[in-house]
Amino acid sequence: MNTFLGIELGSTRIKAILMDEQYTPIASGGFDWENRFEDGIWTYHLDDVWRGMQGSLASLLADYQGKYQGADFPNVSGMGISAMMHGYLPLDKDDKQLAAFRTWRNTITEDAAARLTELFAFNIPQRWSIAHLYQTMLNGEPHVKDIAYLTTLAGYVHYKLTGEKVLGINDASAMLPADSATMDYDTKMVSSFDAIAAEHGLPWRILDILPKALCAGEPAGMLTEAGAQLLDPTGTLKAGIPLCPPEGDAGTGMVATNSVAPRTGNVSAGTSIFAMFVLEEPLSKLYPEIDIFATPAGKPTAMVHCNNCTSDLDAWVNLFGEAMTQMGTPPDKQSLYRSLYEAALRGDADGGGLVSCNYLSGEHITGFHQGRPLFIRTQDSAFTLSNFMRNLLYSAMASLRIGMDILTEQEGMRFSKLIGHGGLFKTPLVGQTLMAGALNVPLALMESAGEGGAWGIALLAAYAVQKKSGETLEDFLSNRVFSDTHVTCVEPDPMDVQGFALYRERYKAMLDVERTAVERIENRGQ
């Protein structure tokens, strides 16, 4: 049996999936991890990356042996690496890490992002790699002159496994904008940035230090002996496996929901939340709140990205679990989430007059460089568990709706449906129902939605190995992978639409309080 292996390094979990030739997952594994907030930077240590990669694969191997006792581990015909996008991960000529890995969560590049947006006449979000790089130049950080390779987390892992300095065009286009006509970095922006680098006296040009951009289906190297040992010290995984281009979690989410063709869209809801729409034609103008990047096949895509989604919600769920444990009845985590989420469906349509700010970190959609999670109620609010949980779920969706209003109200975009995926949708119907009402658009879930980006990158690995001459990624997914996939779609409930409209106005008013909290309440240790 031939199989395909996908590994994705998400914000809170590293997940590995082994898939057969019918594109069905047959084994999986995972490793929980968390970002660190150190010296004002959201980061992950690279030692944790490899500990997590090995732990995730070991968990998958154990799962396979448990299901197929006595069977040898099957041949892996292709594999791929996906990870959270953006950020700043610089290496010198000896592959030494030059600075702490700065993740997508950081909102510390406001000056650089604004200057580049004006220079390029193209929106450059704070989390994009080029903004982080320029900010280090503006800061005068001494390591910048020594950069030999700047990449994303997926690109770094792929490089260590294969020796190839490449990156899928979805992830690459969120380092430096790409041109969908050439399927490469935008040449005018490259020239503009090289001029800036020269003014700063730097010895390199930008293309010297960025990974080569590759489209889905292009060869991206083989697993080396050193890479196999790094990933799997047991020796079960053998060198010589071809890898597809490494991709970002946005791109693998598009693949896992069959949302790579023009006029398709999806929404991912987990630690962060974002909605993506593959464009038929360019937007009418630049919007600072809307990111433009590429699908894994290079097609232009609009994204509304919010840094904050379920982190504050998860913290409250954990607090309820701690209270139950204190009372001598420690809950099953899955049952706890299900019970609390289902309570939200019984709440008032507007959340009973409650409002929360879920900003654990900054949020560019609403103009925050830092966050302070908070909860507000008035003396006449209906303070019940059901309303509290509905409020927390609404809060996780509110910034996304604010961003999407730009596309619907100013660009006149209409969506027949969005495909949802991510942890927010794990409890049946709850996240799907409330999201449909919050966005006022039908929200569909595929039966495969829970597999996520690790499955998405495994599908890209399969496409790279199996694609026929002239077969596009869209054709491969629609005709081979998703031809018989069951989809459930929830229409917006008019009561929820009306209720969320009231909540949204309350949420917008609350943001003035949030600004004061950021100004007045310091992080512990500052």
From 214, 238, 257, select the one nearest 444 (Cα to Cα): 257
How do residues 443-456 score in pLDDT, each as one tens digit? 999 876 556 789 99
Q: What is the mean pLDDT of residues 299-320?
A: 95
Q: Which residue do the tokens 């989410």 mark?
A: 253
How do residues 458-517 score in pLDDT, each as one tens digit? 999 999 999 998 999 999 999 999 988 888 999 999 999 999 999 999 999 999 999 999
Range list for CATH 3.30.420.40 in the chain: 2-306+449-481, 311-445+495-519
From 305, 402, 312, 394, select the one nearest 358 (Cα to Cα): 312
CATH 3.30.420.40, domain 2-306+449-481, yes or no: yes
Mean pLDDT value across the chain: 94
How do residues 170-222 score in pLDDT, each as one tens digit? 999 999 999 989 999 999 999 999 999 999 999 999 999 999 999 999 999 99
**Per-residue confidence at 379, pLDDT binned at 50, 70, 90?**
very high
pTM: 0.84
CA distances from 71 to 1, 43, 64, 68 (A): 11, 40, 9, 6
Sign of the alpha-carbon torsion through 273, 421, 429, 339: negative
How do residues 347-376 score in pLDDT, each as one tens digit? 999 999 999 999 998 998 999 989 999 999
* Cα 365 → chain centroid: 16
**Per-residue confidence at 43, pLDDT binned at 50, 70, 90?**
very high
From 107, 222, 210, select the one nearest 167 (Cα to Cα): 210
Choice among 26-35, 87-96, 408-417 with the minimum mean pLDDT: 408-417
Task: Name the CA dihedral angle for 144, 146, 152, 153, rounded to a multiple of 10 degrees.
Answer: -120
Looking at domain 311-445+495-519, its CATH class is alpha beta
CA distances from 48 to 36, 53, 230 (A): 11, 8, 13
Token pair belonging to 258 = 């069959």
